[in-house]
Structure 1
Amino acid sequence: MKFYPYHYRSLLSLGLPIMIGQLGMIILGFADTMMVGHHSTTELGAASFVNNIMNLVIITATGFSYGLTPIVGGLFGRGELPQAGNALRCALLANTLAGLLMMVALVVLFFNLGNIGQPEELMPYMRPYYLVLLASLPFVMLFNAFKQFTDSITETRTSMWILLSGNLINIVGNYLLIYGKAGLPEMGVLGAGVATLLSRVVMVGLFLAVFFMRKSMRPYREGFWSLGWPRQLIRRMFTLGTPIALEMGMETASFSLSIIMVGWLGTIALASHQVMSTISQFTFMVYYGLGTAVAVRTSYFNGQRDHKNMLHTVTAGLHVMVALELVLSGIIFLLRNHIGGWFTDSPEVSATVLTLMLPFFIYQFGDGLQINYANALRGIADVKPLMIIAFIAFFIISLPVGYLCGFVLKFGLVGVWMAFPFGLTSAGIMMWWRFRQMTQRQPTPRA
């Protein structure tokens, strides 16, 4: 046990800046939902549907970019800095290509928005908001590549400050454009989309400035410019990134595709789902900040072939994860009677939000468990099984359970949410088992 404090400190040193940046994203999500909700409950319902679809795509895109972590983390662990810079160059290309494929899928969905059973009164708000967020996706992909690169070389404070700066721009833009302040037009939910687009453009610009101007980036810039486009490296990014993207996409689908079922229950259910989804993103993003630190440290020790410290890192990550779960769940429990009123003036929405707290608290441990071991597997580049695990947990277990509880057993929105504890906990157990199998066999190969 004497070695765990070292790993706790290392994980928190790396993870806290990521968590702070992620908290900035959560504050932004809170601000979006609050401002839109107080402008109009109808617009909140429209934002709920579009945000859930876009979050599905963005988290899938983020998962694809995570394929860079074991590559750069291993190179950094071995001191091969120019090669790490070259990996960033290839990642920018790979992420752009993956983003274009996702945009094609989103365009197809846009032309079918009216055919999936959503309330007709929401369509005039959904369509323009959807298009603006669609236009921001290429900037999300470029940002993800830079963020994974800087996190993997342990410069996690860089992405933290850039995220916080972008979020500040977004929140101010929300206030000005949603409500029409400072002589600007009152755009409602569309204004929230425009502010989001602007902030994402600015964040990519800041990352470019950091990479091409900061002295500490000089060894990476040398490899970025001089080592070309090695096809093997680009193929490896797709080989690693695609399974992670599919795993995270299927996990998010257990939430985001549930929005279709929620839409069958009406506008109040959609608005309530959006509020609780925002709360669940709060815990998820904090947990994933720690999970990213687990992946970075695991890939670092894997690159050095230090099997013992790799295992200690993952176990220490689980300890810290459980502590975070207890703290965050306790805070939300104490605030449970007030949360709905933060986001909307509708008493019906506030009352419905309160009914969703029980399934939310139940799935916290499963969420933390699967995040810790998904990132441990990512750190050792054992990512293909994640696709199978995610398919079983989220498509075979979670979504059918949601339909069964919500509509066959007639528990409504609470029934849809009862699926999440089943999906997340089963995923966590399977990922733990896979990691245990891989690490008991033999020391993992280099990433």
Structure 2
Amino acid sequence: MYETSNRRQKIKLFIIIMVPILVTQVSMNLMNFFDTVMSGQSSAGDLAGVAIGSSLWVPILTAVNGVVLAITPIIAQLIGAKKKEDVPQVIQQGIYLSIALSFFILLIGSVVLDPILQLMSLEQDVHHIAKYYLVTLGTGIIPLFLFHTIRSFMDGLGQTRASMIIILISLPINAFLNYIFIFGKLGMPAFGGIGAGIATSVTYWIVSIISLYMIHRVAPFKTYRVFEVFVKPKLSYWVSQLKIGMPIGLAMFFETSIFSVVTIMMSNYDTNTIAAHQAAMNFAGLLYMLPLSVGMALTIAVGFEVGAKRFQDARSYTYLGIIGGIMIAVFIGIILFLFDGAVARLYHTNPEVIALTKQFILFAIFYQLADAIGAPIQGALRGYKDVNITLVLALVSYWIIGLPVGFLFANYTNLEAFGYWIGIIVGLSAGAIALLLRLLYVQRNVKQNKPVKGS
């Protein structure tokens, strides 16, 4: 990161930061995409099992990543304030916390996984695949969250290309391992959808090892000497990170977990409907990486400018990101409308599944338009370290507004499964409007040097 003096420089720097984040996020999501698509080529049961497993995994992943993401604005503001000497301890404590959270998730997962799957009344083969996809994926949780901690450090410095390179290296490895374990190649048994979990776990370990090497040996990260002097875990540092990270993580959990609840509610439909819903949701998740990347770039840019007390520049970056996100969403919506059939055929060859997926994709067009506004605003608010009200807004928008609306449309109209998507769209739209109002309030008070209530 560096100071800019005009709009052209800001646009250039923002693109330099955002594009590698976008490539990284899309590539990370492509691992889940490959898991789902390649499993679907095995059978509809494998597709449904992996898709359901993914829908349960993603909320947990995003929640913990939200906690880890707190490191990005912390580092960005430290660099903006020229406090480089504080960086190593922040990173080490973040690593300790990520490992502790990983063990906590593994413990909770061992207790609640079976009961949750039993609630869904799945067909026996789908239940088996979903369970052991998650079990095998769980063996890679520790290295995954370790990588995300290191990545947040890299991104906080504005060095977003580093994590992009790591993921681009790992993506073809993941696809190749999927091919081996799903379809039984090179002497391995054909695990079907469960093989996708094995492949992704191995990939997480590879990604973690590469990232550790980079911050220890590669410039500019090695100049921070993160591991030169080891410090003991300190609860005070954990608490300071959690004060920022927990609201971020819970807000992201409320947003993503609603999709898991919808999946549970849709388990009453047949396997083809579940498979089509999850295929469309999987692709929508891939599209979400666009506004999410804009939001993550805004966290870095806004955090840097806020740390340096350049509040007008922080405002300029914010609106630049929001406008860019909306333009991207409109373009993507047009592409989806024109090529819905091609997207549906990526996931399955069954004509009924393809037809249903195309209908779900139409709803995804409006879904991603709402996300294009909300996600960048969330990122900007994280740059201000304003996270507590965002948590409340997420809870109200998605769970108190979106989910009940979806339930009503699904059960009391002839829309059936599509009704849940209407609820999601309504929830996301309500959240985007509320976030915009919060952003305007924060910007006004920061500019006038007034306290921001609820931060």
TM-score, normalised with respect to structure 1: 0.95
Alignment correspondent of 2:355: 351
Moved more, 59-68 or 134-143: 134-143
1:359-438 correspondence runs (5 A): 359-438=363-442
Q: Distance in 2 between matches of 1:18 and 1:105?
A: 31
The aligned residue for residue 209 of structure 2 is 205
Q: Does 1:263 align with 2:271?
A: no
Stretch moving more, 57-66 or 5-14: 5-14
Superposed CA deviations along residues 104-153 of structure 1, whole A, max 9, x for unmatched, are 33222223145303323222222221211122222221111011110010
Q: Deviations over 1:56-88 (max 9, x none)?
A: 110111111111122111111122223112211
Task: Provide the secondary structure at the position in 2 that maps to 1:183.
Answer: coil
Distance 1:372 1:217 in 2: 27
Does structure 1 retain, via aligned residues, the 8 Å contact 2:117–2:131?
no
1:309 aligns with 2:301: no
Q: Deviations over 1:376-414 (max 9, x none)?
A: 111011111111001100110111111111122241221
Q: Which amino acid aligns with 2:312?
A: K
The amino acid of 1:145's aligned partner reads: T
Q: Once the two structures are superposed, what CA deviation does each residue of 1:393-437 show, in whole Å capped at 9, x if it has no partner?
A: 011011111111112224122111111111111111111111111
Q: Deviation at 1:368?
A: 1.3
Report which stretch shifted further, 77-86 or 53-62: 77-86
Amino acid at match of 1:274: Q
Distance 1:226 1:27 in 2: 35
Matched ranges for 1:4-43 at <5 A: 4-43=7-46
Aligned pair in 2 of structure 1 residues 194, 11: CA closer, same or farther (>3 Å)?
same
Q: Is the partner of 2:41 in helix, strand or coil?
A: helix
How is 1:39-438 mapped onto 2 (pairs within 5 angstroms)? 39-121=42-124, 122-221=126-225, 225=229, 229-438=233-442
Cα root mean square deviation, aligned: 1.9
Q: Measured at CA, do residues 145 and 88 of structure 1 come closer, stay the same or move farther in structure 2, by a change above 3 Å?
A: same
Secondary structure of the 1:119 match is coil
Normalising by the residue count of structure 2, what TM-score does the alignment of the two structures yield? 0.94
Deviation of residue 102 (structure 1)? 2.5
For residues 17-50 of structure 1, the C-alpha deviation after alignment (integer angstroms, 9 at most, x for no partner) is 1111122234333322221111010111111111
CA contact (8 A) 2:406 2:422 kept: yes
* Change over 3 Å in CA distance of 1:125–1:379 after alignment to 2: same
SS of the residue corresponding to residue 91 of structure 1 reads helix
| Structure 2: distance between partners of 1:345 and 1:9 | 43
1:99 Cα offset (Å) = 2.5
Give the Cα separation in 1 of the matches to 2:169 and 2:77: 30
* Moved >4 Å (runs of 4+): 226-231, 444-447
1:415 aligned partner, one-letter code = G
List gaps (5 residues or longer) in structure 1: none
Q: Which moved more, 1:113-122 or 1:182-191?
A: 113-122
Matched to 2:149, the amino acid is A
In the aligned structure 2, how far is the partner of 1:410 from the partner of 1:64?
A: 40
**2:392 match: secondary structure:** helix
Assess if the C-alpha contact under 8 Å between 1:82 and 1:224 holds in 2: no
| Structure with larger RCO (C-alpha < 8 A, sep 6+) | 1
- Pick closer, same or farther for the CA change 1:303–1:268 going to 2, 3 Å: same
C-alpha contact 1:247 1:386 (8 A) present in aligned 2: yes
Distance 1:169 1:82 in 2: 37
Stretches of structure 2 that go unaligned for 5 or more consecutive residues are none
Give identity over the alignment, percent.
Answer: 23
Conservation of the 8 A alpha-carbon contact between 1:243 and 1:386: yes
Q: What is the Cα deviation at residue 230 of structure 1?
A: 5.0
Per-residue deviation at 1:215? 4.0
